[in-house]
A and B are shown apart, each in its own frame.
Chain A
Amino acid sequence: MQSLSAASVPGVILDLDAVLILLSAFACLGSKLFDRYLAYYGAQSVLLAVAAGTVAFVQHSPALWILAGLTLLLKGLGIPLAARHLLVRRLQLKRDAGLAAGLSFSLIVGAALCTFAYLVAGQRTLAVGLVATAVVPLSTAVVLLGALTMVVRRHAVAQLIGWLIMENGVFLGAIVLTASFPFIVEAGILFDVIAAVLIMLAMVSGLAQQLGETGTSEMRGLAE
């Protein structure tokens, strides 16, 4: 398996791409508007497709090419457009008022998590022979930022976006750790995500119609 370092052109593209994916996770964490969430998530997925395409190009792996295409179509275009249609147009969701922490504070915590990810997944701790060692800590940071987004947001849809960002981080880590990951597993995860998003959107719209409220604190009341 060929390894990508910062010395080659695909390696540089992959590194830059991973940093941009991390920045879009930060952008999502630092914004308050629902259409921004969706735009940043879409941009992140497009960047993820570029990363998958780069790895596929180096490894000459048709399965990864297909995955990159699916990511671009489904996560880059499909989910953001469908969610925008449902949430922003039909349900008129604009500003996310349910923040558990201030934006500046969550950005600082995000920066700390980022540093933590670099420490625990640094190059010394990783096995040799991976596709791109530099991207692993970046993808770990994206996973942590997605989790942080879920923690500091109270609105169900915003938490869903955080979960999707986490999934993007896992996907990025998977393609750079083992490009020979079985195709059927990755594709299965991808379709899982799509199904989950569809169910979630349907539930959220149903809840919004019945209760007029989609904050998770209200939903907790339903369980009791």
Chain B
Amino acid sequence: MLQALQTLVVLAAAPLYAGLISRAEAVVQSKHGPSIWQPYRDLSKLLGKGRVISEHATVVFRWAPYVAMACFLLVSTIVPIITAQPLPLAFLADLIGGAFVLGLASFVLSLAALDTGSPLGGLGASRTTWIGSLAEPALILVFFTVGVLSASDNPYLMNHALAGSPAALALPTHVLGAVAFFMLLLAETGRIPIDNPAGTIEISMIEEPRVLEYSGRDYALIKWGGWIKLFLLSSIFMNVFVLPWGLGSATGLGSGLLGIAALGGKLLLCGAAIVIIDSSFAKLRFFRIAEYLGGAFLLALIGIVTSYVIGK
């Protein structure tokens, strides 16, 4: 029951979260900006439209949006979003497994971009894969930093370990890991220091060129998947790294609903942080991205080594 509720919350609230962030960014820049319901309007418009598929496209291109969406939904079943007790399906994977599933989604989209043979798609696929290959080791190290504190790589147990000992939140290892994870969150979801989510200039796009060939309901699924990814990573960041409290227990629906309210509050904080970074930094030059991700890697590495010096 809660399992279904959690996935439904992720599906329903992810566009709202994206809409809130883009509206807040517009307000910060003294613009009126789109309504916070704009992502829903986009979705319903795209879902109602027919699709155009290149005659050279193969089955890879046709199936990629569905596989990617399935990956995002799978991750939404295994991480703590609204409850602190492991859900029935949570045994499927730990955080590293979750990262692999997200990696699979990205891989499938890159394959689809290569499939039609459009030059821009190949460009996007190569750029995204390059960034992903640099972000992945850092991400695994970040999971190790929480791992040494909670002696586990299961997100629920990490959450429990932190909620049980708030002093651990001030440990250097944890602080470094949290900062590194936030840097990677921005990289993985294509936010400002890496990529401009509102950018319309094809030559500077990093993730967008991969999906320019899609239309209609396929494009809707891909858009939706991107918002779900942002939503999921933000909730993992808040629930596992920053504020491990306020999650419901697995016993009843009521506590799950309370958990949704708490999640809303936490995501507002995380969204505010993203908006501040989006509006105060410029996009990095492409070859500086390696240094940015190297910085995240370094933070996580120092965090881990520090844990051996300072202790838990």
Instruction: Please report A residues at the B interface, Cβ cutoff 8 Å.
Output: 6, 12, 15-16, 19, 22-23, 26, 30, 103-104, 107-108, 110-111, 114-115, 118, 122-123, 134, 137-138
Contact = CB atoms under 8 A, between A and B. Distances in A.
Nearest to B304: A115
A107 B301 CA distance: 12
B309 A138 contact: yes
A104 B311 contact: no
B175 interface: yes
B291 A103 contact: yes
B310 A104 contact: no
A130 to B, nearest CB: 13
B309 A12 contact: no
Tell me what chain B mostly uses at the interface: helix, strand, loop, or mixed: helix
A108 B302 CA distance: 11
30 contacts: A6-B310, A12-B167, A15-B172, A15-B310, A16-B172, A16-B175, A19-B175, A19-B176, A23-B299, A26-B298, A26-B302, A30-B291, A103-B291, A104-B290, A107-B291, A107-B294, A107-B295, A107-B298, A108-B294, A114-B301, A114-B305, A118-B305, A118-B309, A122-B309, A134-B309, A134-B310, A134-B311, A137-B309, A138-B306, A138-B309
Contacts of A30: 291, 295
Interface in B277-303: 290-291, 294-295, 298-299, 301-302
Contact of A22 (B167, B175, B295, B302): B302
B309 A111 contact: no
Contacts of B301: 111, 114
Contact of B302 (A12, A19, A103): A19
Interface string B35-71: 0000000000000000000000000000000000000
Nearest to A136: B309
Tell me what chain A mostly uses at the interface: helix, strand, loop, or mixed: helix
A137 B172 CA distance: 14
A118 B301 CA distance: 12
B169 to A, nearest CB: 11
B310 A118 contact: no
Q: How large, as a class, is the contact surface on chain B?
A: 20 to 34
A10 to B, nearest CB: 13
Given A19-B175, A110-B298, A122-B308, 10 more contacts: A6-B171, A12-B167, A23-B302, A26-B298, A104-B290, A104-B294, A107-B291, A107-B294, A107-B298, A138-B306
B1 interface: no
B305 A19 contact: no
B294 A118 contact: no
Contacts of B306: 19, 138
B305 A115 contact: yes
Contacts of B176: 19
Nearest to A16: B172
Nearest to B310: A134
Nearest to B308: A118
Contacts of B299: 23
A12 B305 CA distance: 17
B201 interface: no
A16 B310 CA distance: 10
A16 B306 CA distance: 10
Interface in B160-194: 167, 170-172, 175-176
Nearest to A112: B301
Contacts of B309: 118, 122-123, 134, 137-138
* Top 8 closest pairs, chain A to chain B, by CB: A19-B172, A134-B310, A137-B309, A15-B310, A134-B309, A118-B305, A104-B294, A6-B310
A134 B306 CA distance: 9
Contacts of B295: 30, 107
A111 B302 contact: yes
Nearest to A138: B309
A6 B306 CA distance: 12
B170 A12 contact: yes
Contacts of B171: 6, 12, 15
Contacts of B302: 19, 22-23, 26, 111, 114
A26 to B, nearest CB: 7
A223 to B, nearest CB: 36
Contact of A16 (B170, B290, B294, B305): B170
Interface in B214-234: none
A6 B167 CA distance: 10
B139 to A, nearest CB: 17
Most buried by B among A15, A103, A110, A115: A15
Contacts of A26: 298, 302
A118 B310 CA distance: 11
